[in-house]
Amino acid sequence: MDRYALIGHPVAHSKSPAIHAAFAAQTGQAMSYERILAPLDGFVDTVRAFINEGGRGMNVTVPFKLEAFALADQLSPRARAAGAVNTLSFGADGIHGDNTDGVGLVRDLVANLDCPLAGRRVLLLGAGGAARGALQPLLDAGPARLHLANRTAAKARELAAHFTQLAGSVAFSAGGFDDIGSDPFDVVINATSASLSAAAPDIPASVYAPGALAYDMMYGIEPTAFLRAALAAGAARTADGVGMLVEQAAESFLIWRGVRPDTAPVLTPLRTPPVVE
């Protein structure tokens, strides 16, 4: 049986083993998937030990995505654009690194939440690793406008500069929370870490256009502070990031096993809280 794993610190809370077990059962794949808690200073040694034990691939979660990027012998174009790796594959030609986070986000928005991005106005909050992983797939989806906003404006502009050449016809801009402007957005995505501390980014209520969707990449048993604030500010719909989790897992599964699982039966029981409309 082929072995796969999630590596991170912490990992005990992760739903990934259950997700991949469901994918394996659905597609008839002989594989196992486990959690591996790596010491904060022991990522590379833990990965190489797993490879030596016959491991075939790993998902990488915080705080190791940058170390995974540095470890990979080959990188996919989307991993290079993101500057981070969340999916490792081990083969005769070495370690291959990919990033499935952004494509998972876009697929959840478009396919699961029926929220097309083409021609829409999108606001992405944050300028860390989560935002970086999302930028290329969001630009590829063809919104009319994509604005990147961060508490520190200079960091947002610095990150945006790396993606300007990928913007094509998209009106792509960046700045601080205090200069988002008064033009509303159809989709507002929280890629900050504020939800980890039960806080919400300090953005104006006017960012939500009629019918707007507020999306938090984080997920939990209860709606995040960002989602609660979005509803109070006039967002028509909210959704957390559990769909992104399932969709990025499906993309990793496709890379490893060559078959794409059906995500709907896996996502439905996991999507808590449900989408609010």
Cis-peptide into 273, omega within 30 deg: yes
Q: How far is CA 129 from CA 79, 161, 212, in A?
A: 11, 15, 25
4 is in an annotated binding site: no
Asked if residue 3 belongs to a known ligand binding site, the reply is no
Of 112, 161, 103, 173, residue with least CA distance to 133: 103
14 is in an annotated binding site: yes
User: Is 239 within any annotated ligand binding site?
Assistant: no
- Does the annotation flag 228 for ligand binding? no
Which is catalytic among the residues 4, 11, 33, 65? 65
First to last CA, the chain: 43
Q: How far is 139 from 52, CA to CA, in rounded Å?
A: 39
For the question of residue 65 being annotated catalytic, the response is yes
Encode 157-184 in three state secondary structure. Answer: HHHHHCCHHHCCCCEEEEEEHHHCCCCC
Q: In what order do the strands lie in the sheet with 94-98?
A: 31-37, 2-8, 55-60, 87-91, 94-98, 74-75
Q: Tell me whether residue 150 is annotated as binding.
A: yes
54 is in an annotated binding site: no
User: 238 labelled as ligand-binding?
Assistant: no
Residue 126 assigned to a binding site? yes
Residue 129, marked binder: yes
Binding site, annotated residues: 14-16, 61, 86, 101, 126-130, 150-155, 217, 219, 241, 248
Q: What residues act catalytically?
A: 65
Binding site, annotated residues for NADP(+): 126-130, 150-155, 217, 241
Binding site, annotated residues for shikimate: 14-16, 61, 86, 101, 219, 248
